[in-house]
Amino acid sequence: MSNKVLCVDDDANILTGITRNLRKQFDIDTAVGSLAALKMIEKDCPYAVIVSDMQMPGMSGVEFLNIARQKYPDTVRVMLTGNADQKTAAEAVNRGQIFQFLNKPCPPEKLADILNNGIKHYRLITAERELLEKTLNGSVKVLMEILSLSDPASFGRGQAVRDHARKLAQTLQLKSTWELDLAAMLCPIGCVSLPAELNQKARMELSLTGAEKDAISRVPQVGHDLLSKIPRLEAVARIVLYQNKNFDGTGFPTDAVKGDEIPLEARIIRVLADLAHLEAKKVPRFKALEQMRQHPGHYDSKVLDAAARCFELETATHPGDEVRSPVALDFPDLHAGHVLSADIVTKQNILIVGAGTKITPLILERLRNFASLSGLKLPIHVQG
């Protein structure tokens, strides 16, 4: 956790004085002017505290601290000014979200107190965020483990869609992908509300009754309702809700949302899920994309075009490339981290884990139980 302090002023003499008086108490960097400071925060951040002068040529302290806040919101920001009128204070608070104002000249003792308080505040913010992130990650991991046990086939497809989604997100220049990652894995979570027999019928594309179709159509709503109860997963829940929504606004949910109003992540997952479904039927990828283009109302054409570019590059071969064949293993040789190239079923042909699934410790424990109780069909095939 950083305890570093950055002091910014256009007067080098003031910075020299601050360093001379406080260097024994704090790890201090200095920058002459806002432009030099921007380069430093790109190189050395995160800083615990940034102290900036208000009046500087080229870029004011308010403008600089606003940029710093956008890049590193946890960093504590302090304004040093000789012109702390009401208008200046209001602008600084609204744009830079200032922790403390200090008037020039500021005694070293007072600045030291403010820096100590700022560092304490920074530690509190980062510790709380770390706790929330660990809690969130733990909750999501539990949900994924539940899905892997209750619906192994959907879990395996979710892993494959997530891996493809990461590559497609790069092609679409999506800046943040963590919500896409989680949504891709958790889109089938609503399937836990369905009887196992109905899940099996849907996977085999057998004829369904009206009530069964209605239950399956509500799976995204069930998933949304589960995830929306977890703090910070509201956006992920919305992606899950719109995973089957057609680009023209038809389909579930039956609301007015359509086109670019549908979360981009949901549009990505829709394309990849349907592409995976067609490929599972042994339809070559390029033909699958052609079939999907024949339904323009279903998909975002930009995502389809990006998928074609992305996977054309992915499947391109180069001299020296080797196609790895699946590896056959006995159960004792199967370990966490292996990726299945074929389903694992019991001797009674009950599906336990689907092809494409990455083996986790919990899945391995489940397989161990089935192996000892009812037996597994061997060998197990994993990706080479």
Q: For residue range 19-63, list pLDDT tens digits in order.
A: 999 999 999 999 999 999 999 988 877 899 999 998 888 888 888
d(CA 136, CA 129): 10
The residue ranking higher by pLDDT, 80 or 116, is 116
Which amino acid type is present at position 381?
H
User: Tokens for 262?
Assistant: 């549908």
User: Does residue 135 belong to any structural domain of this protein?
Assistant: no
Of 297, 316, 335, the residue that ends a domain is 316
Say how many domains are in the chain: 3
Q: For residue range 85-117, list pLDDT tens digits in order.
A: 556 665 656 555 788 888 888 899 999 999 999
Backbone φ and ψ of 340, nearest 5°: -75, 135
pLDDT attached to residue 88: 61
Residue 164 belongs to domain spanning? 151-316
User: Does residue 52 belong to any structural domain of this protein?
Assistant: yes
Q: Do 64 and 80 belong together in one domain?
A: yes
Q: For residue range 169-188, list pLDDT tens digits in order.
A: 989 988 788 889 889 888 98
Do the bridges between strand 28-32 and strand 76-81 make them parallel or antiparallel, or are there none, so unpaired?
A: unpaired
Counting residues of the chain whose pLDDT is more than 70, the rounded percentage is 92
> 104: phi > 0 → left, psi -120 to 50 → alpha, else beta; which?
beta
d(CA 124, CA 245): 41
pLDDT attached to residue 104: 82
What CATH number should be reported for the domain holding residue 70?
Answer: 3.40.50.2300
Mean pLDDT (the chain) is: 86
Q: Residue 10's CB: how many other CB atoms inside 10 A?
A: 17
Q: Do 238 and 334 belong together in one domain?
A: no
User: Does residue 62 belong to any structural domain of this protein?
Assistant: yes
Q: Do 208 and 284 belong together in one domain?
A: yes
Q: Do 246 and 372 belong together in one domain?
A: no
The residue ranking higher by pLDDT, 191 or 244, is 244
d(CA 304, CA 319): 28
User: Does residue 105 belong to any structural domain of this protein?
Assistant: yes
CA distances from 85 to 79, 82, 100, 246, 302 (A): 13, 9, 14, 54, 50
Q: Do 295 and 339 belong together in one domain?
A: no
Q: Do 382 and 353 belong together in one domain?
A: yes
Does residue 120 have a pLDDT over 70? yes
Contact (Cβ atoms closer than 8 angstroms) between residue 362 and residue 149: yes
User: Does residue 132 belong to any structural domain of this protein?
Assistant: no
Q: Where are any strands of DSSP class E within 98-254? A: 100-103
Instruction: Report how far Cα 331 is from the mean position of its chain's Cα atoms.
Output: 33
Q: Do 190 and 233 belong together in one domain?
A: yes
Of 74, 93, 127, the residue that ends a domain is 127
Question: Taking Cα atoms as reference points, which of 357, 358, 342, 352 lies closest to residue 372?
Answer: 352
User: Does residue 69 belong to any structural domain of this protein?
Assistant: yes
Of 270, 296, 316, the residue that ends a domain is 316
Q: For residue range 123-160, list pLDDT tens digits in order.
A: 988 887 777 777 777 777 777 777 777 777 777 777 78
d(CA 244, CA 246): 6
Contacts of 106 (CB under 8 A, 6+ apart): 80
What CATH number should be reported for the domain holding residue 244?
Answer: 1.10.3210.10
The residue ranking higher by pLDDT, 156 or 308, is 308
pLDDT attached to residue 361: 87
User: Does residue 43 belong to any structural domain of this protein?
Assistant: yes
Biggest alpha carbon–alpha carbon distance for the chain = 82
Q: How many residues does the chain have?
A: 384
Q: Do 231 and 340 belong together in one domain?
A: no
What CATH number should be reported for the domain holding residue 359?
Answer: 3.90.105
Q: Do 250 and 373 belong together in one domain?
A: no
The residue written with tokens 């490339």 in the block is 321
pLDDT attached to residue 357: 84
Q: Do 306 and 357 belong together in one domain?
A: no
Q: Do 274 and 378 belong together in one domain?
A: no
Q: Do 288 and 163 belong together in one domain?
A: yes
- In this structure, of 71-85, 250-264, 280-294, the range with the lowest mean pLDDT score is 71-85
